[in-house]
Amino acid sequence: MKKESKLWNRNFFLLWQGQLVSAFGDALYTIALSFFVLELTGSTAVMGTIMALVTVPKVLLGPLLGIMVDRVDRKKLIVIGDLIRGVSILLVTVAFRFGILKIWMLMAVAVIDGICSAFFNPAVESSLPDIVTDENVMRANSVYQIATTGAEIFGQSLGGAIYSQLGAPVMFLINGISYLFSASTEIFIKIPNVVSEKSKGTFRENFKDGIHFVLRYEGMIRVIVMSFFINFLFGIIRVLIIPWFVDNPQLGMTRYGVLSAAQSIGILIGMTVLSVVRVKASQKYNWYKISLFSFILMIGVAVLSNQYWIILLLFFLAFGFQMIFNMIMNSTVMQRTPVNKRGKVSAMKMTLGMAISPFGNFVGGMLGEVWNPRGIMFVSVLLAVITVSVIVIHPTVKEFLNYDTTGQK
């Protein structure tokens, strides 16, 4: 299939608008689930466990499903992923309506969500370079993420108020319907088939092939290892922000929703910058390094502040920088990976980068039972600064990120 030169071609638009709808419902569901579990159990440990269960399948199944992405029809994986998630969340809504909803059901849906994401995300990520031209890959990633973030802004800013007025079941229902709508539009996307590797070896051999490819680049290894540690430390923080706001009478659920929206607006601004500004290949490492350190330090200052507007501003700026360094890394990895390896490399990157995140959620939930959330979050920030300094400030990372597609293969 010939790729269209314009960014907003039919296939990209269908993928983009489907994500826009499902992301809005997902934002409502995430807030509703967190508040509902905390209200029902009063335990940060249980809340952290459910958040961790979404990530565990991505870690355990990511490499296997990444190989599958390189062997089967990626459009089917994308449609089926949204369809299963929509049905499972609607079943939770029905159980809530009839008064039979149990915590184990929410845990089961969290696992299902994680499994679907484990093959949905690599399928989308590996498909983007095949439906837009090389010069539009970074812009496509940015614009695609804008859909997610823009929807999250509305969902998160309204989430606390909707939960207070209508409760969790309405928010669950919206999310289930949004996934089904997204699946119905993704049916019409045309994604070119990948040259199958079925005759070239077993799953084990293909997995080893993906590992060998990643090991060719020390810079790639370093940015993935950095993600591994950062996801653990910020997995702790992500869990503890909720009890920090809920337990503080000057903050509360509504202001948490506004904070979540501020994060999303920051991400939106970061993506907008990358969608309109062409970052020179020789400057990508500097952009990456500056935005990464800015993200960490602003979170640290926000945790120390007692002024809500300062916390809001710093989280807004921090997550704008987060999107910049993430997009630079993801786009570089995609551009340096051959088409028949993108699925497994994308899954491997996601798996290794997120492998410890569920443990971070769990540890954060457990520590929140015995120690002040803000103290735990600040220690996590200090450890993040040390980790990034050791891993990222290295010439191989600079060489990897400053890759120029016009002059190299």
What band does 62 get if pLDDT is binned at 50, 70 and 90?
Answer: low
Which comes out higher in pLDDT, residue 258 or 383? 383
Alpha-carbon distance of 115 to 130, in angstroms, equals: 24
Structure confidence at residue 131 as a pLDDT band (50, 70, 90): confident
The pLDDT, as a whole number, for residue 294 is 93
Q: Is residue 5 part of a domain?
A: no
**Is 19 or 349 the better-scoring residue by pLDDT?**
19
Q: Does the structure show a pLDDT above 90 at 313? A: yes
pLDDT of residue 4 exceeding 70:
no
Burial class (CB in 10 A: 0-12, 13-18, 19+), 165: exposed
31 or 304, greater pLDDT: 304
What is the percent of the chain where pLDDT is above 90?
7
Q: Read off the pLDDT of residues 335-357 as tens digits, 9 standing for 90 and up.
A: 777 766 766 676 666 666 565 66
Q: Are 160 and 256 in contact (CB under 8 A)?
A: yes
* Nearest one of 336, 339, 306, 319 to 399, comparing CA atoms: 336
**Domain encompassing residue 371:** 10-189+201-401
- Whether residue 2 lies inside any domain: the answer is no
pLDDT given for residue 157 in this prediction: 67
Q: What is the per-residue pLDDT for 280?
A: 80
Q: How confident is the model at residue 156 (pLDDT cuts 50, 70, 90)?
A: low
Would 406 be classed as within a structural domain? no
Does residue 4 sit within a domain? no
Asked, for residue 264, whether it belongs to a domain, the answer is yes
Q: What is the pLDDT of residue 91?
A: 93
Per cent of the chain over pLDDT 70 is 80
Give the Cα separation of 148 and 146 in Å (integer).
Answer: 5
Q: Does the pLDDT at position 241 exceed 70?
A: yes
Does pLDDT of 70 surpass 70? Answer: no
Q: What is the pLDDT of residue 206?
A: 63
Asked, for residue 1, whether it belongs to a domain, the answer is: no
C-alpha span between 364 and 48 (Å, rounded) = 7
- Return the higher-pLDDT residue of 283 and 409: 283
Count of structural domains, the chain: 1
What is the pLDDT at residue 374?
86
In a domain, 407, yes or no: no
Q: What is the mean pLDDT of the chain?
A: 78
Q: What is the CATH number of the domain that holds 88?
A: 1.20.1250.20
pLDDT number for residue 347: 62
Residue 409 lies in a domain: no
Cβ atoms of residues 391 and 226 within 8 Å = yes
pLDDT at 85 over 80: yes
List, for residues 171-200, the tens digit of each pLDDT value. 888 888 888 988 888 888 887 765 554 445
Q: What is the mean pLDDT of residues 260-281?
A: 78
Higher pLDDT, 182 or 138: 182
Name the DSSP letter for residue 214: H
Distance CA(312)–CA(325), nearest Å, equals: 21
Q: Is the per-residue pLDDT at 66 higher than 70?
A: no
